[in-house]
Amino acid sequence: MSGKVTQMIKEEDVDSRIKELAAKIDEDYKGEEIFIVCILRGAAFFACELVKRIKAPVTIDFMQVSSYGAGTVSSGEVKIIKDIDLSVRDKNVIIVEDIVDTGNTLSTLRDIFEHRKSKSVKICSLLDKPDRREVEVDIDYVGFSVPDKFIVGYGLDWDQRYRNLPYIGVVET
């Protein structure tokens, strides 16, 4: 693996934006219970920081899906590796993702949770890469819009590396 990581979004800016997103979620749900579905592994860092700042009652569960493997470009095929353990029936679901690029994963997951009779389904993503969109998907809560570059840090990885960077960076190859 070769390549240098250049900081794109500072840790302080990420933290500040997460606080803003949590406040907006609280405002939108006005104390109603929220069911957070964290998409592993990348969104774990973001979801933990987000949930700590939400004042409304929160339940959290985890789902692992894959559309990348070891590559740097989405394969387009969404594979559920680990499903959630709890029922989302009649719950306000917020799917928490690290980054939305093609939209394939989030479009599929939204359909799954609607089919499971959730009261509502919203999407919250730390990052949005709109130039890569193949499937239109509404993202209700977006941290930052980023260019079509390979992004790492703050949970996002390159073949399982760089997740632990406290900032969001770009891999320069």
Q: Which ranges in 39-159 belong to alpha helices (H)?
A: 44-53, 104-115
- 136-168 tens-digit pLDDT: 999 999 999 999 999 999 999 888 889 999 999
What positions carry a catalytic annotation? 101
The pLDDT of residue 78 is 78
Distance CA(10)–CA(22), nearest Å, equals 19
Task: Find out whether 78 and 67 touch, Cβ atoms under 8 Å.
Answer: yes
**Which residues of the chain have a pLDDT value below 50?**
1, 70, 72
The pLDDT of residue 3 is 74
The pLDDT of residue 2 is 61
pTM of the model: 0.91
Tracing tokens 């794109």 back to the chain, one arrives at: 8
| Biggest CA-to-CA distance, the chain | 47
Residue 100 CB-half CA count within 13 A: 30
Task: Find out whether 93 and 118 touch, Cβ atoms under 8 Å.
Answer: yes
